[in-house]
Amino acid sequence: MTEITITARPHPVTWELAATALLVIDMQKDFLYPEGYGALLGNDTGLLLGAVAPIQAVLAAARAQGMFVIHTREGHPPDLSDCPPTKLTRWPAGNRIGDPGPMGRILVQGEPGHAIIDEVAPFPGEIVLDKPGKNSFYRTPLDELLRAQAIENLLITGVTTDVCCFATVIAANDRGFNALVLEDCVASYSPERHTASLETITAQGGIFGWVSDSAALLAALHP
């Protein structure tokens, strides 16, 4: 048994390494490249690119430790059968999930834009979960997979801070998992919402979880 202590706010955590998993959320071309879903929603995708190198460093460290690593991808099958009408019709026709774009159909599984960017591509054997919603537990086997590995603690990385990462932290908290967000390994289309989400997570003594960064995790893994 190996415990690690990670400097974090509102206070440090000491976690069993074998009970800690790394979640890499939705690092897909559709969110990070200027021709995909994120851009179609009116966002500057360049704001997300700063998270790539820190995630690479954390992935390398986690893999070296044999940590349980799970990647997620937001998207829908080609028939959009699991896409709620509310998610489909909230934006004007031509700017919708399933519409054709430069990277294929927007947010559709198997299309080029749906793929995880090469820089943080899953290794063979790592789990990749397709999810139709923002929260990574919704209509995925994530809960069962974590419990099967006796995972209690989640390190949260990926995009975007205030949407899929935030939704996943809130869901993890209700399901009895600890969640710690590595703030340089998550990014938002809005620096203000990034900061506000992290502030909400750590408020009230850590009401939803903790916030730390990649340097603190690497220091904890290699004291």
Interacting stretch for ligand TIU, rule CB under 6 A, among 11-19, 117-125, 159-167, 194-202?
A: 159-167
176 CA to centre of own chain: 18
CB 82 within 8 A of CB 139: yes
Active site residue 131: yes
Continuous segment of H or E residues that includes residue 180: strand 178-187
d(CA 171, CA 208): 9
Continuous segment of H or E residues that includes residue 30: helix 29-32
Active site residue 87: no
Select which of 26, 30, 162, 184 is catalytic.
26
Give how many residues touch ligand TIU by CB under 6 A: 10
Angle at 149 between CA 171 and CA 166, to 5 degrees: 20
Select which of 164, 165, 184, 185 is catalytic.
164
Residue with smaller CB distance to ligand TIU, 160 or 202: 160
Q: Given the structure tokens 């000491």, which residue do they identify? A: 14
Selected from 74, 183, 184, 213, the binder of ligand TIU by CB under 6 A is: 74
Distance in Å, CB of 210 to ligand TIU, minimum:
20
Which residues are catalytically annotated? 26, 131, 164
For ligand TIU, the binding residues (CB under 6 A) are 26, 31, 41, 74, 134, 159-160, 163-164, 189
